[in-house]
Chains A and B, each alone.
Chain A
Amino acid sequence: MLSSLRARLLLWYTFILAAVIATFAGTVCYLFWRSLVADIDQGLRSSAAGFVQGLRPMASGEFDLVLPPEYRQTDGATAPLTFYAVWNREGELVDRSPGDFDIPRPAAAGTVTRDGRREVTVTGANGALVLIGRDLADARRDILAFAGTAAAGGLAALVLSLLGGWFLVGRALAPVARISQAATAMSAGDLTARIAVEHTDNELEQVALALNQAFDRLRLAVENERRFTADASHELRTPLATISAEIEWALSRDRSSEEYRRSFDTAQRAADRMRRVVERLLTLARADSADVALQRAPVGLAPVVNDALGIVQPLAEQKRVTIETRLREATVVGDRDRLTDLVTNLFSNAIQYNRAGGQVHVDVWPEGGEACLRVRDTGTGISADDLPRVFERFYRADKARTSHSGGAGLGLAIAKWIVEAHGGRIACHSTLGQGTEILVHLPRVV
């Protein structure tokens, strides 16, 4: 494709250049011919003037002709370079150069080219018509020689500029070669392929820069996708491995009912964990494909918080975590079920990552055009390194605890999606050793 682009550019270039050279050479040849003919015309005209002077008018209306000296020496064997003919008023030929060729009488005075000869006709005394002619063969030879030289010169110029053009087009297209190389490597799976950019001031290099940026984003997307798949597979395969190993163990020989019970317990826990992960993955998948229709109705945040409290109460009791609420009325437009999911997720995190006997503080208040929700825990907190990534899917600040508590690192990703689907924003602040605070702002109904 590249070489054909180069060839095609060059073909057009050649075509245009050849047309320019041909036009130029043609014009020069034409002008040269014109000046040759003008010179000849001038010579013919002055000869004609000599003839006219040699016409002696007589009273009878006739005239006498005295030939200029140079016309007397013609031997008549060959067609002379210059020839003449004189007619009287009646159209009778009075005199002419010797020679074996016709000189037809012209109808009127003037200058014409006929049969490869240039002829000047003037009128003289008593209606005489004087024609002086000249053969143009030598002039034609001259002009052909000139045109031949011009054509050779033009051809040489064309070849030279073609070579130059091949080189220049090649240079101009070199970035295209680099771009295509990088793009090929990229599509072959080498995500690190980038186009080497030398000058940033030409258009193709700008294209290269833009493509490099696109490659960067593509690489990031692919890596995120890969990590997501690896994480999802880990979250699902681990409990599956537990179930299959447990069942294989239980079936490998006869077991006591106590042992069977324990195997079923283990398998059930693993299945529960798989179910939670699958549910959350499905939620996120639906969120990604944007086919979740959110209900849009006025919802009070305080009742939503109370609903969520009811859901997480058993977990809180189990971890001996107390939840303190300060709820003021703030109404948002949204989907009550989704908002309950959101608050439940935040509460579960605040309880699970809390210390035993810790507290969770929940505040809801209106602020300007926004409804605010704050969930604060007294847990171990999240390190500054982990903080920017807590809303990423499968990201877990501390895998040790979460894998026992059953979380898969999807809760905050889902929370973020719910908040953003409601046109709000969510932020996380944390101090290691003191606790974590999640702050949600949602547009409020005033």
Chain B
Amino acid sequence: MRLLVVEDERDLAQTLRRALEEEEFAVDLAEDGEDALFKIRELPYDAVILDLMLPRLDGWALLQTARADGIRTPVLVLTARDMIDDRVRGLNLGADDYLTKPFALVELVARVRAMIRRAYGNPSSTVQLGGLAIDTAGRQVLRAGAPIELTAREFAILELLTRSRGSVVARSTICEHIYNEDTDVLSNVVDVHVAALRRKLGPGVIRTRRGEGYMIDA
């Protein structure tokens, strides 16, 4: 899952990136509102973490513009402004969730995951797939109660394909969701991960649509 963290305080942005990457998110940073708006428009983020007091274009204006453009990416507002008016204003302008600084990292991560689940139309953190149970919060896959060891990338690909069940996901889309902007990816790297995933999950779970991408049947 790929996130955009919009935060003008560099230290905090770096901390967030490190923490979120450990939670197996691909993380991009934006330091001001205009940069953030450009990235939100260009890239298919799974969620945005947004500070409100930003240089150049503040968080409210950013939210308003993005929503007016029809961008539906879930947005969690992360700000020091804790007055009820501010929260209401943020939510009314199209934010999906609100967290006040200072915050607990575990709560931030849980809220972001919940937000993404809701956006994909499934509020439960566990998905059943044939004989497999995929626990997106606990980051593990169980077959008949026994865990299957997956790498972070493999899990991210499985999670993405599971969320998009029934439709084909292009290789480029997979790349966009599991790598941040600082990573140069060779196109066959996805194929390598998928091959490993198939080996671990067994045949028939992930299907290849030649020239299009991969999919998991609904």
Contact = CB atoms under 8 A, between A and B. Distances in A.
Interface of A: 226, 230, 233-246, 248-249, 252, 266, 269-270, 398-400, 403-404
B11 interface: yes
Given A399-B8, A399-B55, A244 B81 contact: no
A270 B9 CA distance: 10
A248 B9 contact: no
A255 to B, nearest CB: 11
Nearest to A249: B19
A254 to B, nearest CB: 13
B21 to A, nearest CB: 11
A270 B32 CA distance: 20
Contacts of B54: 399
Contacts of A246: 11, 15
Contact of A237 (B11, B32, B55, B102): B102
Contacts of B79: 234
Contacts of A403: 8-9, 55
A33 B23 CA distance: 112
10 contacts: A235-B80, A238-B12, A242-B11, A242-B15, A245-B19, A248-B19, A252-B22, A400-B31, A403-B8, A404-B10
The 7 tightest CB contacts between A and B, nearest first, are: A241-B101, A237-B80, A400-B55, A234-B80, A241-B102, A399-B55, A242-B12
B106 A248 contact: yes
**Chain B: number of interface residues, binned into ranges:** 20 to 34
Contacts of A237: 80, 82, 100-102
B53 A249 contact: no
A238 B9 contact: yes
Nearest to A232: B80
Interface string B71-106: 000000001111100100000000000001111111
Given A242-B12, A242-B15, A245-B103, 16 more contacts: A230-B83, A233-B81, A237-B80, A237-B101, A240-B101, A241-B101, A241-B103, A245-B12, A245-B105, A246-B15, A249-B15, A249-B22, A266-B14, A399-B8, A400-B31, A403-B55
A248 B22 CA distance: 13
B174 to A, nearest CB: 28
B53 to A, nearest CB: 6
B104 A242 contact: no
Contact of B53 (A234, A236, A269): A234
A241 B12 contact: yes
A433 to B, nearest CB: 17
A242 B9 contact: yes
B47 to A, nearest CB: 17
Contacts of B53: 234, 399
A103 B18 CA distance: 131
A236 B81 CA distance: 11
B87 to A, nearest CB: 13
A390 to B, nearest CB: 16
Contact of B80 (A233, A243, A270, A398): A233
B16 interface: yes
Nearest to B82: A233
B180 to A, nearest CB: 18
Contacts of A404: 10
Nearest to A243: B102
Contact of B55 (A230, A243, A398): A398
Contacts of B32: 400
A243 B22 CA distance: 18
A252 B101 CA distance: 19
Nearest to A234: B80
B210 interface: no
Given A234-B81, A238-B9, A399-B8, A245 B55 contact: no
A403 B10 CA distance: 9
B11 A270 contact: yes
